[in-house]
Structure 1
Amino acid sequence: MKVAIYIRVSTEEQAEEGYSIAAQRARLEAYALSQGWEIVQWYVDEGESAKDLNRTDLKRMLKALEQGVFNCVLVYRLDRLTRSVLDLYKLLNMFDKYDVKFKSATEVYDTTTAIGRLFITLVAALAQWERENLGERVRMGMQQKAKEGKWTVSLPPLGYESNDSTLMINHQEAAIVKEIYRLYLSGMGMWKIAKNLNERGIHPRSGKAWGMNPIQYILKNPIYMGTSRYNYRVNKDQYFEVEGVAPAIIPEEEFNLVQQTIESRKDIHPRQATSKHIFSKVLKCGRCGSRLIGKSSHTKRGEKVYYSYNYYCPNKPRGLCDLPNISQNLFEQKFIQMLSKWDFTKEADELAQNEATAAVEDHTETIKEIEQELNGIEKRRSKWQYAWVNEMITDGDFQKRMKEEEEKEKMLRKELEGLTPKEAPLQDSDISEIWTDLKLNWQYMTIEQKKQFVLIALDFITVDKINKDKTPDSVEIKEVRFN
């Protein structure tokens, strides 16, 4: 009898119960020897569940079965092979088709008779019930643990460390998270943020290069304002959130601002979202109601190239609208005039009241932790220098390590600069001054900053070109709707 032996272990608990790879191998080898069978192949799946047939070595075994490599499959117990009744039927049919016997070393089965098939089916059904029942209990336990504000995932998110299911801030990683939020709110897209971090030698915990998905995960994960989410990928009908699970890395207002920005960029092309057209997606035609589209052109005078940015109605080329092109330069001047007439007193009063009722946060402990992180960077620098001087690392490695430490130090010091032992709430006069600065400093803002403000603050602006003059007064702002 040519025998193929199949072994499976899915958890450490099973290994402790005597189902370890070594234990199964020893017992199965002894069993085959006692029967006088020849072992022609071993198939071992470690750390894989029996919930389906999608297992590496099991698939190899079934392929060899079709090739007639062996004529008997030997397992330690039936549940090592499968815990699904449906999968058991599939396997038994395959064994019958290729005239291959099935044998368990610890259980008595006879698949050649009807009563034997019934018995093995009942055993498989019980195994499936046990697996599903255990799964339900585990899910209920995990959900209850999450509702109690404990961290249920083995690997904590970037910026945190887990201690007995409690999340604590890792300030070195938290600085990276804050940098990602800062870059996004400055107008940079997710792909550009990933490229920026990779070029600066700032890597995630895995050490791999950044991509769009991990950046998006960080920007949309409410854990960074202290709120955990559960069942957001699977079992979405049972999704829930729990506040106060972790200390916040990103203030709630900043997190919500990022979500608004992501939502505002959702329906526009990435190039449009980061283009030089400040009012993309916001301007509406005052004649037909269509969203205006940005268009750029350039002229060359000598060695200099001059760019101009305009907006046009998409219905004009089709003869359905007669709105002339609107220059971004002229409209921006008109927008500044409108900005200077805004009365922010009401908004300032509301924000001042909210700030006054908020608790004054003490950052003394956080400052100490960041200073400890900075001391750690200095110590690592000394180690890299020692290793380089003693030719334990190459010049390239030394430069790379020192650059990484420099970037980490920059982010930590930036975070430190934003903290004081006590932060007093904003006064009404402070908030009014902020709005006044916005009016006065519009001309000093970058295009990305202007675009970011427009996307977040405005739903749409309806405009019209009332004459052919090349002056701001030739543009009329008919309606403004704020977000």
Structure 2
Amino acid sequence: MIQNYLEKIKNQYEVNCLRAVIYVRYSSDNQRVESIDAQIRLIKEWAKEHNIIISAIYADEAQTAKRDDRKQFQQMMSDSKRQNDWQLVLVHKLDRFARNRIDSAIYRSELRKNKKYLISTTEQFDDSPESSMMEAIIEAMAEYYSKNLSREVMKGLTENALKGKFCGGIPPLGYDIQDGRYVLNTFESQAVRLIYSRFLEGLSYSKIIIELNEKGYRTKRNALFTNNSLYEILRNERYTGTFVYNKIVSRDEFTGNRSRHKCKPESDIIRVENMIPAIISKTDFQKAQCIFNSRRRKYTNNAKETYLLSGKIRCGVCGGSYIGTRKFNGNGTKYIAYQCNIKRRSAKLRCDNDSISRDWIETIVLQAINDYVIQVNDKGIADIYEECIKKYNQDNSEAAGVIKKQIVEIDRQLDRISEVVSITSSSTMIEKLLAYEKQKEELNKQLRELKAKNNSIITIEELKALVVTAKKMLKEKSLPRVKELIDLIVKEIIINKDNVEIHLHFGVGVNKNILIEQRHMNKLCSSQ
């Protein structure tokens, strides 16, 4: 039966000998690389018996067939469009190709459009109606097997979770896995405590990241910290000693994508108290969540007012951001002000710094900008340019220093792993070696990008044009242009108990740090 089918394909292509590519895969860490070797060996034996020449081999390791974003699989499908020197795709079984009937039908159809044929060397179907029916039955059985296996695996993982055992994946920063259980990583746990401590002190993500990187801390994947990595750590309940499992929603059935910020219903989440070593207290964790939640809340009436200094004002007491707010007293009088965001929290966490009148602070800042721009002359522009270059070089030097330190550490790891590989040829060590090489390549790329930025720094002519633009903005006094001007000139505004500090990006003839004393401040009562 299969021999007749192969002869039919030969006649269609008018060739004496068919050529084929092999596609193999194994689905998870529970199987081994030897599974792929066995598949290749059996397929090659079958091909030899049927006088088929093998042109290429595509192999996906630890990849499920329920998804179609397998790298080698997609490479094979792409090559099938461009390459005309082979006619067949050989698989050991149809479930190696796909365990999803929809994907199977789509990609088999695509292969046919590219004049390629899929053949299972063990099931050996041809193009007869009976074979088509049997293929459909086998694909349905494969899909059932996959879904049933997922259900059974989930049962086992749930039992492990209830016992506080590791359920797979990469453990959070601060933990290692020994004998299937979470244990503290002393060095990493210090980084976690530092992150929570600085966050509760009111430091921004960028300042926390700089401190972490300067002290040599890295993420669990040995990369520099980012905003996302801090967010994941500050939202991870496991650091309180609570084992949490089955919290994140499953992959989308159609796209295969998963959002780490979408959670399952509380009834589906498994939580077991005091099952793993705690790194931070439950109190500190709850404080961090309160900060997140307060940042999420948005008053519906904020959009009814314009706040020119949004994102520029910081509290000198707690370090939090000042936000625009509108209130009415009992007589209906409206008060528009900037208020410390932490002031809106519960009594225990509330900041006691004062609110400040929107109109007053915006008038003061605009006057400072006006004084600043009026005094700008050619010498002032030269001073600004010199300071700009100095700051730019300093920032670049600091960033390059952090990257170079990490490259030195990676080189040390590469030397150590290379010695092990030369002795044992361990596949695990080789994978780590390749991962470090890739990371080093990415860091070198970042260094090259920093160097390239030196060629794109602003010129004096461009700076003069900016000053002309600034004067035009002040003259026009349109809100969008004024906001743009504030972003250009004002670095930050700090509201203290006794004064207001206005920090400009550059000083020209006037001090770039302006201090407004208490007697000149127009505050709103902090109780309002």
Q: Quick check: TM above 0.5? A: yes
**Equivalent residue number for residue 258 of structure 2:** none
CA contact (8 A) 2:324 2:338 kept: no
Q: Does 1:54 align with 2:84?
A: no
**Equivalent residue number for residue 235 of structure 2:** 220
Provide runs of 4+ in structure 1 moved above 3 Å.
12-16, 265-279, 281-291, 324-328, 447-450, 470-480
Q: How many residues are paired up?
A: 321
Look up the equivalent residue of 2:102 and give its one-letter code: L
Q: Measure, in 1, the Cα distance between the counterparts of 2:66 and 2:216.
A: 42
State the shift of 1:40 in Å. Answer: 1.7
Secondary structure of the 2:39 match is helix
Look up the equivalent residue of 1:233 and give its one-letter code: I
After superposition, give the CA deviation of every residue in 1:284-313 in whole Å (9 maximum; x if it has no partner): 545545551279xxxxxxxxxxxxx98224
State the shift of 1:275 in Å. Answer: 5.1
Q: Does 1:253 align with 2:253?
A: no
Secondary structure of the 2:322 match is coil
**Equivalent residue number for residue 158 of structure 2:** 143
Q: Does 1:263 align with 2:293?
A: yes
Q: Does 1:8 align with 2:25?
A: yes
Q: Does 1:28 align with 2:47?
A: no
Q: Measure, in 2, the Cα distance between the counterparts of 1:272 and 1:241.
A: 40
After superposition, give the CA deviation of every residue in 1:252-294 in whole Å (9 maximum; x if it has no partner): 1122112212223345899458454868349754554555127
Secondary structure of the 2:69 match is coil
Q: Measure, in 2, the Cα distance between the counterparts of 1:100 and 1:475.
A: 77
Using a 3 Å threshold, how does the CA distance of structure 1 residues 81 and 448 change in structure 2: closer, same or farther? Answer: farther
Match of 1:107 among 123, 133, 153: 123
Secondary structure of the 2:20 match is strand
**Equivalent residue number for residue 352 of structure 1:** none
Match of 2:226 among 201, 211, 233: 211
Q: Measure, in 1, the Cα distance between the counterparts of 2:238 and 2:334.
A: 40
Q: Measure, in 2, the Cα distance between the counterparts of 1:125 and 1:280.
A: 59
Using a 3 Å threshold, how does the CA distance of structure 1 residues 166 and 39 change in structure 2: closer, same or farther? Answer: closer
CA contact (8 A) 1:187 1:274 kept: no
TM-score, normalising length: structure 1: 0.58
**Equivalent residue number for residue 96 of structure 1:** 112
Tell which deviates more after alignment, 26-35 or 268-277: 268-277
Look up the equivalent residue of 1:4 and give its one-letter code: V
State the shift of 1:83 in Å. Answer: 1.2
Using a 3 Å threshold, how does the CA distance of structure 1 residues 113 and 265 change in structure 2: closer, same or farther? Answer: same
Q: Measure, in 2, the Cα distance between the counterparts of 1:14 and 1:326.
A: 65
Percent of aligned pairs with the same amino acid: 26
State the shift of 1:161 in Å. Answer: 2.4
CA contact (8 A) 2:23 2:97 kept: yes
CA contact (8 A) 1:281 1:291 kept: no
**Equivalent residue number for residue 133 of structure 2:** 118
Q: Measure, in 1, the Cα distance between the counterparts of 2:67 and 2:522.
A: 70
Q: Does 1:280 align with 2:318?
A: no
Using a 3 Å threshold, how does the CA distance of structure 1 residues 205 and 36 change in structure 2: closer, same or farther? Answer: same
Q: Does 1:182 align with 2:224?
A: no
Secondary structure of the 2:170 match is coil
Q: How does 1:383-402 map to 2 (within 5 A)?
A: none
Secondary structure of the 1:49 match is coil
Q: Measure, in 2, the Cα distance between the counterparts of 1:130 and 1:474.
A: 72
CA contact (8 A) 2:242 2:272 kept: yes
RMSD, aligned CA: 3.7
- Structure 2: which 5+ runs fail to align? 1-17, 251-263, 299-308, 341-353, 365-411, 413-493, 498-517
Q: Measure, in 2, the Cα distance between the counterparts of 1:43 and 1:167.
A: 37
CA contact (8 A) 2:315 2:496 kept: no
Look up the equivalent residue of 2:322 and give its one-letter code: S
Q: Measure, in 1, the Cα distance between the counterparts of 2:296 and 2:226.
A: 18
Q: Measure, in 1, the Cα distance between the counterparts of 2:25 and 2:290.
A: 48
Secondary structure of the 1:262 match is helix
- Structure 1: which 5+ runs fail to align? 296-308, 317-323, 329-383, 385-446, 451-469
**Equivalent residue number for residue 273 of structure 2:** 243
State the shift of 1:207 in Å. Answer: 2.6
Q: Measure, in 2, the Cα distance between the counterparts of 1:186 and 1:84.
A: 51
Q: Measure, in 2, the Cα distance between the counterparts of 1:449 and 1:182.
A: 22
Look up the equivalent residue of 1:147 and give its one-letter code: L
CA contact (8 A) 2:313 2:495 kept: no
Secondary structure of the 2:167 match is coil
State the shift of 1:37 in Å. Answer: 1.3
TM-score, normalising length: structure 2: 0.54
CA contact (8 A) 2:161 2:270 kept: no
Look up the equivalent residue of 1:6 and give its one-letter code: Y
Look up the equivalent residue of 2:273 and give its one-letter code: E
Q: Measure, in 2, the Cα distance between the counterparts of 1:282 and 1:39.
A: 69
State the shift of 1:204 in Å. Answer: 3.0
Using a 3 Å threshold, how does the CA distance of structure 1 residues 225 and 272 change in structure 2: closer, same or farther? Answer: farther
Using a 3 Å threshold, how does the CA distance of structure 1 residues 169 and 52 change in structure 2: closer, same or farther? Answer: closer
Using a 3 Å threshold, how does the CA distance of structure 1 residues 129 and 204 change in structure 2: closer, same or farther? Answer: same
Q: How does 1:56-455 map to 2 (within 5 A)?
A: 56-67=71-82, 68-110=84-126, 112-235=127-250, 236-237=264-265, 238-266=268-296, 271=311, 274=314, 276=316, 280-281=322-323, 285=327, 287=329, 288-289=333-334, 292-293=337-338, 311-313=356-358
Using a 3 Å threshold, how does the CA distance of structure 1 residues 262 and 274 change in structure 2: closer, same or farther? Answer: farther
Secondary structure of the 2:278 match is coil
**Equivalent residue number for residue 5 of structure 2:** none
Secondary structure of the 1:208 match is coil
Using a 3 Å threshold, how does the CA distance of structure 1 residues 292 and 23 change in structure 2: closer, same or farther? Answer: same
Secondary structure of the 2:219 match is coil
Secondary structure of the 1:3 match is strand
Using a 3 Å threshold, how does the CA distance of structure 1 residues 7 and 175 change in structure 2: closer, same or farther? Answer: same
After superposition, give the CA deviation of every residue in 1:310-357 in whole Å (9 maximum; x if it has no partner): 8224xx6xxxxxxx66999xxxxxxxxxxxxxxxxxxxxxxxxxxxxx
